[in-house]
Amino acid sequence: MYLVYKTLTYNELIIYICGITIKCLACTQWFWGEECENACTCDDAKTSFCNKTNGFCSCVSGWKGENCTENVDECHDGGNKCGRNSTCNDTIGSYTCACDEGYQKNNNDSCKGQ
Ligand SMILES: [Ca+2]
84 and 67 together in one domain = no
Checking if the pLDDT of 8 tops 60, the result is no
Report how far ligand 1's centroid is from the alpha carbon of 110 (Å): 20
- 21's CB contacts (< 8 A; 6+ apart) are 14, 15
66 and 78 together in one domain = no
48 and 80 together in one domain = no
Report how far ligand 1's centroid is from the alpha carbon of 71 (Å): 5
26 and 64 together in one domain = yes
21 and 54 together in one domain = yes
- Full domain range(s) for residue 91: 74-113
95 and 49 together in one domain = no
56 and 64 Cβ atoms separated by less than 8 Å: no
Report how far ligand 1's centroid is from the alpha carbon of 89 (Å): 8
Structural domain tally of the chain? Answer: 2
d(CA 84, CA 65): 30
Burial of 81 (0-12, 13-18, 19+ CB in 10 A): middle
Report how far ligand 1's centroid is from the alpha carbon of 95 (Å): 5
Report how far ligand 1's centroid is from the alpha carbon of 22 (Å): 46
Q: What is the pLDDT of residues 42-95, one digit of tens each?
A: 999 999 999 999 999 999 999 999 999 999 999 998 766 888 899 999 999 999
109 and 60 together in one domain = no
| DSSP type of residue 28 | P
Whether the pTM exceeds 0.85: the reply is: no
